[in-house]
Amino acid sequence: MSDGQTKKKFFYLNRKAPYGTIYALESLEVVLIGAAFEQEVSLGFIDDGVFQLMNNQDAAGTGMKGFSKIYRALGDYEVRKLYVEKESLETRGLSVDDLMPITYEDEDEDYAEKPSIVVVDKAEMAKLIADQDVIMSF
Amino acid sequence: MSGYQVNGGVVEHDEEGYLTDIGQWTKDVADIIAKAENIDMTDEHWEVVNFLRDYYDEYQIAPAVRILVKEMTKKYGKEKGDQKALYALFPYGPAKQACKIAGLPKPTGCV
Amino acid sequence: MSTLHTVNKSPYERNAMTSCLGHVSAGDLVLLIEDGVLAARKGGSFAQALNAAKGACKIYVLAPDLAARGIGAGDVLEGVETVDYGGFVDLAASATRVCAWL
């Protein structure tokens, strides 16, 4: 499945905050498992989904397993595009500076670290959705 | 629930031998788990186990085998970051068996 | 090259439909199912939003879910097409991709 012709665009659409429901963690697990199939994978974060990427998450006091650091491993799994919607951030009083730094290593440029988070506006997000082969919603 | 006998105490594990509480891991525990897996721990084994523990500490997950291979290559060179070499060290799978010895949960996507 | 969007939450309780309508492209299909059908009742406060969306995309609503909630065919907004399960399958088959709004 490594030739370009059979690669499909997989998009994981995340719309819910972490910890309140299991959606965010389930989405991550599916992304990690799906990464083994070498497809073209990207993630979208809109509405409360943007809270999944908040910096300085500490779930220790809740008795739940914290999983925010896992997003930073996505680059190792060749998941290099995390699209975050500008309007969703703004509605919640957030900016990209409130999100954790997530990077991937570009092997074509001597493993230079590049940012994975890309802020897009609603119209660009709609275009991304319209450009996918498969969309998985969480 | 059964457990590993370590220094007179019992460290609980699940039905597949993975530690129930990652916080109970020590090097002694690792040696006992390795023995149960019929593995004599060498420096090479420890390199992998330590790498997995560091990775887990940083990312809260155990890496899939291909990620392990890729990252070991980056850190220790091609010779160590080699799937065959890793399987020679851990015959039942570097991710599965080494993770167990490292006290980590079973890697995601590993059945 | 269209997308079938499904919405299964009441717009009175969640923003799934509002968010969906904000992310559709021209020519897309929107299918309201489960509690999502509540948006399609005449006189409801989301009628305007659905009417506005009708220009760019087609809106469908799943009949068994309407019936289950006591919403008769005559109470469905004009221009919203009612489909059965077979129609749901046809819509999914005709679209290039499906996007669920949960």
C28 touching A, CB under 8 A? Answer: yes
Note whether C59 and C80 are within 8 A (CB). yes
Mean of pLDDT values over B98-107: 92
Q: What tens digit of pLDDT does each residue of B2-11 get? A: 899 998 899 9
Residue B38: other Cβ atoms inside 10 A = 9
Least confident of A30-34, B92-96, C18-22, C88-92: B92-96
- The verdict on a CB contact (< 8 Å) between B63 and A73 is yes
Report the percentage of chain B scoring pLDDT > 70: 95
> Would an 8 Å CB–CB cutoff place A129 in contact with chain C?
yes
Euclidean distance between CA atoms C56 and C99, whole angstroms: 17
CATH number at residue B74: 1.10.10.370
The residue to which tokens 């009441």 are assigned: C10
User: If you average pLDDT over residues C17-31, what whole number do you get?
Assistant: 98
Strands C81-83 and B9-13, how do they pair? unpaired
* Chain B residues with at least one Cβ partner in A under 8 Å: 58-61, 63-64, 66-67, 70-71, 74, 108-109
For chain B, the domain total comes to 1
Q: What is the pLDDT of residue C12?
A: 98
Over the stretch C41-98, which tens digit does the pLDDT of each residue have? 999 999 999 999 999 999 999 999 999 999 999 999 999 999 999 999 999 999 999 9
**Domain A7-137 belongs to what architecture?**
3-Layer(aba) Sandwich (3.40)
Range of the domain at B62: 2-101
- C-alpha to C-alpha distances, B25 to A29, B33, B49, B53, nearest whole angstrom: 25, 10, 12, 10
Domain membership of residue B107 (yes or no) is no
Residue type, A90: E
Q: Which of A35-44, B7-16, C30-39 has the highest mean pLDDT?
A: C30-39
pLDDT at A1 over 70: no
Residue B110 has pLDDT above 60, yes or no: no
pLDDT (0 to 100) of residue A6: 82
Q: Which of residues 38-97 of A touch C (CB under 8 A)?
A: 46-47
Residues A62 and A19: their CA atoms lie apart, in Å, by 9
pLDDT in tens, A55-108: 999 999 999 989 999 999 999 999 999 999 999 999 999 999 999 999 999 989
Per DSSP, the residues of A23-47 read HHHHHHHHHHHHGGG--EEEEEE-G
Of B84, B90, B85, nearest in space to B62 by CA: B90
User: Is B110 inside any structural domain?
Assistant: no
Mean pLDDT of B30-51: 96
Tell me the two tokens of residue C4.
């079938």
What is the model's pLDDT at position C29? 98
In order of their start, the domains of chain C are 3-101 (3.40.1260.10)
Tell me whether chains C and B touch (3+ CB pairs under 8 A).
Answer: no
Given a contact cutoff of 8 angstroms between Cβ atoms, the answer to whether B74 and B68 are in contact is no
Q: Do A46 and C19 count as a contact with CB atoms less than 8 A apart?
A: yes
Contact call for C97 and A132, based on CB within 8 A: yes
Mean pLDDT across the stretch C18-44?
Answer: 98
Q: How far apart are CA A15 and CA B90, in angstroms?
A: 40
- The DSSP bridge partners found for residue A113 are A105
Neighbours of chain C (3+ CB pairs under 8 A): A
- Catalogue the active-site residues of B: 110
Contact C97 A122 (CB under 8 A): no
Amino acid at B89: L
Question: Could you tell me how many CB contacts below 8 A there are between chain A and chain B?
Answer: 35
Contact indicator for A118, A127 with CB cutoff of 8 Å: no
Taking CA–CA distances from A30, the nearest residue in chain B reads B109
Inform me whether the pLDDT recorded for C35 exceeds 70: yes
